[in-house]
């Protein structure tokens, strides 16, 4: 019985099989090396800075930030124009809204802190931070209790859509806001 | 003991009657779940088609949750359990050592499935498939998943026990047949993924019941995907095993080099679990090098396994076909393949679709930078419908055309329906999975009731082209549902009113 086992396991590969496996292995090695290599070459990578933060503390920071830099309101939502190059704060709320409309300046780098707050609701949900426009989209996770820091440099003036793309309850589909970039 | 067996007139193999009954009930449960999940699919499809927008938001999210659980968990795992019993008894001339344990497993899975469907349909568990904390379902929902998983683990343990019995009683000689070997790899992956599931569904259940105060949402995500993604590798493994089985049954092909095919199965077992991290590429908390390491190095050894099967399965069919005299040119063997045999058509479409629609997109979306563009968009939904629907589900549909005559001893009710089903289903899924991926490229989110944002404070207007792809998804989806309905109707009709085979 054991002889049969050995025959199945130790029969050498044919030429075609060897060629295919070699090509596939080289391809796999290529993709394997490209992951770290592209992280060094690419201009747009996944951010690598995040902190644990209590939901309530982040809410206080967001409220203070909104009060300090609020320039006007649109449909009851504060439009916030922070100084160029500063730390800025944005949260998804428990009532399926975004904490503000950010007004940024093109060509300036900001440190955008994203997280989740109750914001008048009962629970700080997980949300999806999804910037959408006619030209591109970019998506990051918003996890309650974590402050995720994205380094953002808006390059073109205009209005960008900001939608939630992680299911966060029945109001999920209403969670649409925007980010304004001034030229 | 002897009266517990019958001899199959077609294959000459001994069939253990208690095992046969368990295969039947699990296969029937699987098809029932496919029917329920399919009805949910139709309704959510008609809701995401903006021109129709059928359901209200409450029912949309409920049925979305039910669809995912009934399809991805219930249909596939019930079918896999039937497959495990088949592979460890009928294929090995063997008996199931403890049929009563098989019934316990089955009842646990049915009760678990009933809890899940009940809580979701009455609106106590509108949490989507992932049930990301702090979305909270009623404790009964988590209990349902735990019971289902315990039932599945019991069935898997039973499968391993049957393998031991077969070896001891020398019911077969030499190595395990490759199909059983592949199923054994699937079962091995199932053990560690289901244990991962227990490791976080139990605390989440306690949290939902008010006993634990807090579950860290990021910890939950990390633990969830160790189940959520790695468990898809059970499906891949089982699907590939079914490819080998169908290739042999329909064309008489034999694996050219068992060492190569079996090593590829082992690569799945060893290397797929960590690749789950690609779900967390745009998450906070985890460092970038942690993410890169876990999504690059070993994942590609699992990809290598799929590349090997992608060579080995068509190659064995080609050799078998050439031996039959189809030797003209490069592709006569393929042109003259049994395309009218629904099992073969299902298998080949599954193989091509899994590789080119599901596999390639999975590998690309799972890279750091592309994940930023695709994460949580409809592209991801398109990708995994390429793998688990076009791949796994279609392969399982294909093998049904052999299970019904061999195990249920009934003729297929309608040859025509059987012939048409794989082309409708395969073609439909091909269209809608690709259309979903294009729509996702415009930023269309997954799990979203209304991408026109009617009633939102600041509605965003997607590119009108995206709406073309939303409609195309609807059309492709309808085709797939026609194919799926042909399959379900034909299978049910065959089992209940098909002509008996003596």
What's the pLDDT score for residue B43?
98
Mean pLDDT of A121-132: 97
On whether the CB atoms of residues B445 and B451 are closer than 8 A, the answer is yes
Residue A8 contacts B, CB cutoff 8 Å: yes
pLDDT surpassing 50 at residue B25: yes
B320 has pLDDT over 90: yes
Q: Are A35 and B296 within 8 A, CB to CB? A: yes
Q: Is B241 exposed, middle or buried (0-12, 13-18, 19+ CB in 10 A)?
A: buried
- Calculate mean pLDDT across residues B253-274: 89
DSSP assignment of B228-243, as one string? HTHHHHHHHHHHHHHH
* Contact flag A46-B291 (C-beta cutoff 8 Å): yes
Residues 51-80 of B with CB under 8 A from A: 57-58, 61
The domain locations on chain A are 2-41, 49-182
The two tokens of residue A2 are: 């054991």
Q: Which two tokens stand for residue B257?
A: 């080099």
What mean pLDDT is predicted for residues A24-48?
90
ipTM score of complex: 0.93
**Pick among B264, B280, B443 to test the A interface (most A CBs inside 10 A):** B443
The strand pairing partners of A140, in sequence order, are A129
* pTM for the whole structure: 0.95
Question: A6 falls in which pLDDT band (50, 70, 90)?
Answer: very low
Q: Do B128 and A176 touch (CB under 8 A)?
A: no
The rounded distance, in Å, linking the Cα atoms of A25 and A32 is 10
* pLDDT, position A1: 27
Q: Which pLDDT tens digit goes with each residue over B457-481?
A: 899 999 999 999 999 999 999 999 9
Q: Point out the residue among A10, A25, A168 whose CB comes nearest to the CB of B304.
A: A25
Min mean pLDDT across A129-133, B63-67, B97-101, B170-174 is at: B170-174
Q: Is A15 at the interface with chain B, CB within 8 A?
A: no
Confidence of residue B290 (pLDDT cuts 50, 70, 90): confident
Q: From the CA atom positions of chain A, what is the Rg in Å?
A: 24
The partner residue sitting opposite A139, judged by closest CB among B58, B262, B282, is B282
CB contact under 8 A, A50 and B297: no
Which residue in the set B128, B262, B292 is minimally distant from A36, CB to CB? B292
Residues on chain A touching B460 (C-beta within 8 angstroms): 132, 161-163, 176, 178
Per-residue pLDDT, averaged over A148-157, amounts to 96
Residue A4 has pLDDT above 50, yes or no: no
DSSP code string of A117-157: --TTSS----EEEEEE-SS-EEEEEE-TTEEEEEEE---S-
pLDDT > 90: percent of chain B: 85
Q: What does residue A30 show for φ and ψ, rounded to 5 degrees?
A: -60, -50
CB pairs under 8 A between A and B: 220
Q: Is B244 in the A-facing interface, judged by CB distances under 8 Å?
A: no
**Under an 8 A CB cutoff, do A136 and B260 touch?**
no
B123 close to A (CB below 8 A): no
Task: Tell me whether residues B462 and A132 touch, CB distance under 8 A.
Answer: yes
Q: Do A50 and B128 touch (CB under 8 A)?
A: no
Question: A174 and B457 in contact by Cβ < 8 A?
Answer: yes
The architecture CATH gives domain A49-182: Sandwich (2.60)
8 Å CB contact between B338 and A47: no
Question: Of the candidates B58, B281, B363, which has its C-beta nearest A170's C-beta?
Answer: B58
The CA–CA distances, whole Å, from B114 to A169, B29, B32, B36 equal: 23, 11, 12, 12
Residue of A nearest to B289 (CA): A36
Q: For the segment B332-389, what is each residue's pLDDT rounded down to a tens digit?
A: 999 999 999 999 999 999 999 999 999 999 989 998 999 999 999 999 999 999 999 9
CB contacts, 8 Å: A161 with chain B: 443, 458, 460-461
A72 close to B (CB below 8 A): no
Kind of pairing, strands A49-52 and A146-152? antiparallel
Chain B residues closer than 8 Å to A18 by CB: none
Residue numbers in A near B371 (CB within 8 A): 46
Does residue A79 sit at the B interface (CB-CB below 8 Å)?
no
Between the alpha carbon of residue B470 and those of residues B353, B361, B390, B455, B463, the distances in Å are 21, 19, 19, 20, 11
Q: Which residues of A touch B265 (CB under 8 A)?
A: none
- Check CB contact of A99 with chain B, cutoff 8 Å: no
Question: A114, A109, A9: which is closest to A51 by C-alpha?
Answer: A114
Provide the pLDDT confidence category of residue B175 given band limits of 50, 70 and 90: confident
Q: How much is the mean pLDDT over chain B?
A: 94
> In chain B, which residue's Cα lies nearest the Cα of A3?
B174
Query: Which residues of chain A neighbour B373 with C-beta distances below 8 Å?
Result: 136-139
> A122 touching B, CB under 8 A?
no
Per-residue pLDDT band for B297 (boundaries 50, 70, 90) equals: low
Q: In chain A, what residues touch B63 (CB-CB under 8 Å)? A: none
Tokens of B425: 């289903």
Cα separation of B232 and B386, whole Å? 12
State the nearest Cα–Cα gap between B355 and chain A, in angstroms.
14
pLDDT at A159 over 50: yes
Q: Does A1 or B414 have the greater pLDDT score? A: B414
Per-residue pLDDT at A96 exceeds 60: yes
Using the Cβ of B268 and the Cβ atoms of chain A, whether some distance falls under 8 Å is answered with no
With CB atoms and an 8 Å threshold, state whether A48 touches B288: yes
Whether residue B376 lies within 8 A of chain A, CB to CB, comes out as yes
Residue in chain B lying closest to A130 (CA): B443
Model confidence pLDDT, tens digit, residues B117-153 = 999 999 999 999 999 999 999 999 999 999 999 999 9
Going by the DSSP 8-state scheme, the letter that residue B28 receives in this structure is: H
Which chain A residue has its CA at the smallest distance from B458's CA? Answer: A177
Across the interface, of A20, A38, A169, the residue whose CB is closest to B369 is A38
The answer to whether A169 and A155 have CB atoms below 8 angstroms apart is no
- The shortest CB-CB distance from B459 to any of A28, A38, A176 is to A176
Average pLDDT of the residues in B408-412: 95
Chain B, nearest residue to A127 by Cα:
B132
Q: What is the pLDDT of residues A40-75, one digit of tens each?
A: 998 889 999 999 999 999 999 999 999 999 999 999
Are the C-beta atoms of residues A139 and A44 closer than 8 Å to each other? no
pLDDT tens-digit readout, B179-238: 999 999 999 999 988 888 888 899 999 999 999 999 999 999 999 998 888 888 899 999
What is the tens place of the pLDDT at every residue in B154-170?
Answer: 999 999 999 999 999 99
pLDDT for A2 equals: 32
Determine which of A137, A140, A146, A152 to mutate to test the interface with B (most B C-beta atoms within 10 Å).
A137
Q: Which token pair is B196?
A: 């991962």
Sort residue A143 into left (φ over 0), alpha (ψ -120 to 50) or beta. Answer: beta
Phi, psi of A136 (to 5 degrees): -155, 170
Tokens encoding B458 = 């600041």
* CA of A174 vs chain B CAs: smallest distance (Å): 5
The CA-based dihedral angle spanning residues B76, B77, B80, B82, taken in that order and rounded to the nearest 10 degrees: -110
């Amino acid at each position: 019985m054991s002889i049969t086992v050995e025959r199945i396991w130790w029969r050498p590969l044919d030429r075609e099989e060897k060629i295919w496996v070699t090509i596939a292995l080289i391809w796999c090695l290529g993709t394997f090396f490209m992951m770290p290599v592209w992280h060094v070459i690419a201009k747009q990578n996944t951010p690598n800075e995040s902190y644990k933060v209590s939901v309530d503390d982040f809410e206080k920071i967001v409220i203070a930030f909104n009060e300090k830099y609020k320039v006007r309101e649109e449909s009851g939502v504060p439009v916030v124009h922070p100084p160029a190059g500063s730390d800025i704060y944005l949260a998804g709320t428990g009532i399926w809204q975004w904490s503000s409309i950010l007004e940024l300046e093109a060509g300036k780098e900001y440190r955008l802190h994203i997280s989740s707050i109750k914001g008048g609701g009962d629970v700080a949900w997980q949300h999806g931070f999804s910037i959408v426009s006619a030209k591109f989209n970019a998506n990051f996770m918003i996890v309650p209790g974590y402050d995720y820091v994205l380094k953002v440099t808006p390059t073109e003036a205009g209005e960008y859509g900001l939608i939630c793309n992680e299911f966060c309850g029945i109001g999920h589909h209403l969670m649409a806001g925007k980010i304004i970039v001034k030229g | 003991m002897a009266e517990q067996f019958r001899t199959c007139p077609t294959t000459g193999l001994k069939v253990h009657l208690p095992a046969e009954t368990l295969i039947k009930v699990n296969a029937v449960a699987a098809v029932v779940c496919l029917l329920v999940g399919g009805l949910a699919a139709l309704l959510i499809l008609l809701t995401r088609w903006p021109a129709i927008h059928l359901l209200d938001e409450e029912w949309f999210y409920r049925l979305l949750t039910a669809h995912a659980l009934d399809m991805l968990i219930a249909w596939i795992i019930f079918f896999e359990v039937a497959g495990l019993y088949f592979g460890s008894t009928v294929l090995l001339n063997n008996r199931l050592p403890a049929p009563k344990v098989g019934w316990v497993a089955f009842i646990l899975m049915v009760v678990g499935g009933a809890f899940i469907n009940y809580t979701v349909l009455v609106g106590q568990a509108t949490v989507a498939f992932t049930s990301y904390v702090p979305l909270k379902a009623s404790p009964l929902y988590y209990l349902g998943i735990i019971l289902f998983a315990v039932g599945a683990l019991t069935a898997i343990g039973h499968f391993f026990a049957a393998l031991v019995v077969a070896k001891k009683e020398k019911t077969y000689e030499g190595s395990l047949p490759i199909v059983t070997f592949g199923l054994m790899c699937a079962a091995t992956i199932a053990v560690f993924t289901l244990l991962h599931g227990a490791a976080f569904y139990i605390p989440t259940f306690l949290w939902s019941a008010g006993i634990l105060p807090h579950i860290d949402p990021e910890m939950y995500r990390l633990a969830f995907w160790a189940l959520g993604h790695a468990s898809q590798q059970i499906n891949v493994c089982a699907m590939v095993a079914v490819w080998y089985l169908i290739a042999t049954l329909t064309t008489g092909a034999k694996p050219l080099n068992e060492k190569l095919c079996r090593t590829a199965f082992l690569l799945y077992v060893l290397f797929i679990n960590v690749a789950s991290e690609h779900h967390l590429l745009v998450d906070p908390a985890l460092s970038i090098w942690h993410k890169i390491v876990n999504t690059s190095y070993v994942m590609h050894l699992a990809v290598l396994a799929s590349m090997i099967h992608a060579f080995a399965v068509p190659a064995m069919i080609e050799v078998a076909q050439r031996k039959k005299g189809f030797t003209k040119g490069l592709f006569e063997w393929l042109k003259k393949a049994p395309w009218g045999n629904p099992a073969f058509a299902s298998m080949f479409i599954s193989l091509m679709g899994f590789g080119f629609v599901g596999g390639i997109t999975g590998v690309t979306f799972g890279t750091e930078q592309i994940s930023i563009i695709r994460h949580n968009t409809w592209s991801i939904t398109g990708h995994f419908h390429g793998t688990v629907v076009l791949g796994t589900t279609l392969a399982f549909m294909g093998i049904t055309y052999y299970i019904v005559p061999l195990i249920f001893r009934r003729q297929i009710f309608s040859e025509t329906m059987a012939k048409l089903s794989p082309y409708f289903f395969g073609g439909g899924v091909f269209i809608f999975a690709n259309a979903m991926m294009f729509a996702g490229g415009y930023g269309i989110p997954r799990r979203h009731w209304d991408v026109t944002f009617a009633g939102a404070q600041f509605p965003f207007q997607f590119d009108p082209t995206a709406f073309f792809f939303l409609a195309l998804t609807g059309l492709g989806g309808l085709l797939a549902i026609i194919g799926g309905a042909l399959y379900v109707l034909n299978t049910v009709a065959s089992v209940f009113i098909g002509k008996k085979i003596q």
